[in-house]
Amino acid sequence: MAATVMSERGRKLLRDFPALGALHEHDRKGIEGLIGLVERAAEYNRDVALPRALELDERMEREPDYFDWEMMREACKYRFFSLAIPEVLGGLANKYMVTGMALVVEELCSACGGIGLAIAAHSLGVAPLIASGAMAHWETVLHEIVEEEKKGNPVLMAYAITEPSAGTDVEEPEFLAVARIGLEAKRVKGGYRVNGRKCFISGGSEAKYITMTAATDRSRPLETWTTFLVERGMEGFSTPRVELKMGQRACHAAELLFEDVFIPHSHVLGYEGDGIANGILIIMAASRGPVGAIATGIARGAFEHFLAWAREPANGKKPIDEDRIRMALADMYAVLEENRGLYLGHSLGGDALFRNAFTHPLFLSAFMIPRRIRASKPYASLLNSYYGKGLVNILFRYFIKDEDATDMLAKASLAKFACADNAMALVSRALELMGTTPSPQRRWVEKAYRDVKLTQIYEGTNQLNRLALYNTEIAGTLKVEIPGPFKKGVR
């Protein structure tokens, strides 16, 4: 069989990521699949993101309620909304699920952090459905996303944990135990009644489905933290406002209001009280690394625009002819290489963790059952039952070990805060060296400065991520414990 000819972008990707180059020798098909994802993202940047990024940023400063649905419909052509959905369900997630997500978001965010976030926030909303093993909803919600995407209709998800009085608090067990929780999901016949607010939810105003964590007893949030699936049409649910943002404006940050919203038992993901593990820590272990990739992408875009500025003549000479500019460019290049090593190390480790769960023959055998049966109400009822959830948890505990999940959280937290801080320093230095003289390239770098700041805040502030790294790797006091089967007191 003749060898395939790799594109220049593919060769560059293997040069930029030597670990992928080494893996390519042993897994040509898998790594070339990753290259294909990055090439899709580069094409989307060229045709969609770059032509509209600056104009969209300015428009959403004037009109914060505006949302560019056309850019999301264009994203359907590249199947970006299936990145986190397993291949067995028609999605794109395979044994390089985490790595593929990270590489794609770096590429997208090199053009526009806000547009990249608008796409990535959807996958974050999908993640709790996957991580909790909520298979009853895979044949409904995830199937709908995949099928509608093929038609060019984006069906979006979002992830809601932050509350007005509890932001970073809810992402760490020690803090959640004493957090001031405002929203509460009280158990009633057939389900729960939810009252309260969530805030700063990326993509929350556009999402049809929202995965949400909430306490069922505000006086004991750690013990009762639970993950729910919310549908936009539920009575009493609304999104009363979106924020006027400084950066990443292309993706809304929305307030969610719950006024006596009824959520049925079928929409509890896992068991009541499992939310800190399958609704927070596993999600953070998977998503904080890609946030490092978002920061790296924004910084890379700033670097490229700074380099273009340095090569342009100004007052009869080019800035790049000065050694101080050349050394600054070398420092920036080193930052990008350091960041890539950090987030790729997390991503490949994450893929090793999840690969056993989602590519094992035992897992795949569940999908040998005809879809008409898997999508039926009796089958969904079985999976939603006490014993059905217990069986799924047995499988997850078999494939995913607590110590491996804890190690992944540590690497994710490190990649998140280090990449974000490095990126912030890079963009700040570029803007400082460019001075105050207006130019097209400075306009891009100024936008990157506003965009990159947010990466130090979401997915837990960088201060919390430092504590997470200390608690997991140094003190050994924080461990991710995969929920066990057949939880007592829950029926």
* Mean of the per-residue pLDDT values of the chain: 94
Percentage of residues in the chain with pLDDT exceeding 90? 87
Residues 93, 95, 98, 103, CA torsion sign: negative
In this prediction, residue 345 carries a pLDDT of 96
Residues 57, 423, 276, 357, CA torsion sign: positive
Percentage of residues in the chain with pLDDT exceeding 70? 98
- What does the block give as tokens for 105? 């978001």
Q: What is the pLDDT of residues 322-352, one digit of tens each?
A: 999 999 999 999 999 999 999 999 999 999 9
Cα separation, 298 vs 335, in Å, equals 12
Q: What is the pLDDT of residues 168-181, one digit of tens each?
A: 889 999 999 999 99
| Mean of pLDDT values over 97-121 | 98
In this prediction, residue 488 carries a pLDDT of 65
C-alpha dist (Å) from residue 4 to 7, 26, 28, 49, 188: 9, 15, 10, 30, 60
Q: What is the pLDDT of residues 185-213, one digit of tens each?
A: 999 999 999 999 999 999 999 999 999 99
Rounded to 5 degrees, φ, ψ at 284 are -65, -40
Any idea which residue has 């639970």 for tokens? 226
Rounded to 5 degrees, φ, ψ at 131 are -65, -30
Sequence-distant (≥ 6) Cβ neighbours of residue 17 within 8 angstroms: 340, 344
Residue 135 CA to its chain's centroid (Å): 20
In this prediction, residue 374 carries a pLDDT of 93
CATH code: domain 159-275 is 2.40.110.10
In this prediction, residue 489 carries a pLDDT of 62
**Fold (topology level) of 277-474:** Butyryl-CoA Dehydrogenase, subunit A; domain 3 (1.20.140)
Q: Which amino acid, residue 20?
A: L
C-alpha closest to that of 486 among 312, 278, 275, 271: 271
C-alpha dist (Å) from residue 157 to 210, 243, 295: 5, 19, 22
Cα separation, 120 vs 105, in Å, equals 7
- The per-type count for the chain, helices as H runs and strands as E runs, is 19, 7
Long-range contacts of 152-155 (CB under 8 A, 24+ apart): 152/73, 152/76, 152/77, 153/73, 153/76, 154/69, 154/72, 154/73, 154/75, 154/76, 154/81, 154/122, 155/81, 155/208, 155/209
| Mean of pLDDT values over 261-281 | 94
Cross-strand pairs, 261: 194
In this prediction, residue 333 carries a pLDDT of 98
- What does the block give as tokens for 352? 């090793």
- What does the block give as tokens for 103? 């590489």
380 has pLDDT over 60: yes
**Fold (topology level) of 9-154:** Butyryl-Coa Dehydrogenase, subunit A; domain 1 (1.10.540)
Residue 37 CA to its chain's centroid (Å): 16
Taking the alpha carbons at both ends of the chain, their separation in whole angstroms is 57
C-alpha closest to that of 163 among 215, 114, 113: 215
- What does the block give as tokens for 205? 């105003």
Cα separation, 339 vs 302, in Å, equals 15
Long-range contacts of 192-196 (CB under 8 A, 24+ apart): 192/216, 192/228, 192/262, 192/263, 192/265, 192/268, 193/260, 193/261, 193/262, 193/263, 194/228, 194/258, 194/260, 194/261, 194/262, 194/263, 195/258, 195/259, 195/260, 195/261, 196/163, 196/258
| Mean of pLDDT values over 8-35 | 94
What are the boundaries of each domain within the chain? 9-154, 159-275, 277-474
Q: What is the pLDDT of residues 124-136, one digit of tens each?
A: 999 999 988 899 9
Q: What is the pLDDT of residues 407-437, one digit of tens each?
A: 999 999 999 999 999 999 999 999 999 999 9
The DSSP secondary-structure symbol of 168 reads: G
2 has pLDDT over 50: no
Sequence-distant (≥ 6) Cβ neighbours of residue 114 within 8 angstroms: 53, 56, 57, 60, 247, 248, 249, 250, 251, 451
In this prediction, residue 1 carries a pLDDT of 37
Classify each residue of 373-392 as buried b or exposed e, where b means 16 or more C-beta atoms within 10 Å of its C-beta.
Answer: ebeeeebbeebbeeebbbeb
**3-state secondary structure (DSSP) of residue 159:** strand
CB-CB contact of 90 with 143 (8 Å): yes
Cα separation, 385 vs 378, in Å, equals 10
Confidence of residue 67 (pLDDT cuts 50, 70, 90): very high
